[in-house]
Amino acid sequence: MKNIICIIFLIVSANGFAQSGIANDQLFLKYEAAYLTYLNNTDAQVLKKLDDDESTFYKMFISPKAIKSFKKQKNQSKWLEKNLSKTHYKSVMEAQEAYNGIVTAKNKMNDDSKIFTELLDELLKKYDSKLIWKTLTERMDK
C-alpha cells in the first residue's frame, strides 16, 4: 500500500515539474506568443464567412457523388470546366470564382498559422502534445 502511494505521488509530482519546465521554455513562450497573435488576427467573422462560402459552394452541386469527384481531382478548375452540368452554376467562370475565393481564404489562413505550427513541430520533439495543450490553455485562462 505504501508503495502505491509513493508511485502516485511520484507521477503527480513529475507531471507538475514537467509542466513548470515547459512553461519556462523559450520555445514554448515563442509558440504561445505566435499562437495568441494568430488567434487575435484571425477574425471570427472571416472564419464564419469561409465556412458559409464553402457550404454555399458545395450546395450548388447536384449530387454528393459530384462533390466527391470534385474533391478527388488535382485540378478542380478543369473539373468545373468539364462538369459544369453536374452543378447549378450558370457559368464556369461563376463556379471558378466561387472556388477561387475559398482557396484564397484558406491559403491566407494557412500562411498566418505557419509560424506557430512550425514552433509546435519543434515543441513536439521535446514535449508531449497533451502537456503542450494543457499548459497553453491553463496559461490562456489566467
Instruction: State how far the alpha carbon of 44 is from the alpha carbons of 9, 40, 50, in Å.
Output: 43, 9, 10
The C-alpha R_g of the chain, in whole angstroms, comes to 23
Q: Report yes or no on 106 lying in a domain.
A: yes
Q: What are the grid coordinates assigned to 48, written together?
A: 464564419
Q: How high is the pLDDT of residue 36?
A: 85
Contact criterion met (CB below 8 Å) for 19 and 131? yes
Q: Report yes or no on 17 lying in a domain.
A: no
What's the mean pLDDT in 54-71?
A: 93
Has this prediction a pTM greater than 0.75? no
Q: What are the grid coordinates assigned to 52, written together?
A: 458559409
* C-alpha–C-alpha distance, residues 121 and 36, integer Å: 17
Contact criterion met (CB below 8 Å) for 89 and 95? yes
Q: Report yes or no on 138 lying in a domain.
A: no
- At 89, phi and psi to the nearest 5? -70, 145
Q: Report yes or no on 9 lying in a domain.
A: no
Residue ranges making up the domain that contains 31: 26-126
Q: Report yes or no on 79 lying in a domain.
A: yes
Contact criterion met (CB below 8 Å) for 58 and 67? yes
Q: How high is the pLDDT of residue 18?
A: 44
Nearest to 135 by CA among 48, 10, 8, 31: 31
Helix axes 26-41, 129-141, angle to 10 degrees: 60
Q: Report yes or no on 15 lying in a domain.
A: no
pLDDT, tens digit, 9 for 90 and up, residues 31-47: 988 888 887 776 666 77
128 pLDDT above the threshold of 70:
yes
Q: What are the grid coordinates assigned to 137, written together?
A: 490553455
Q: Report yes or no on 37 lying in a domain.
A: yes
User: How many domains does the chain contain in total?
Assistant: 1
Q: Report yes or no on 21 lying in a domain.
A: no
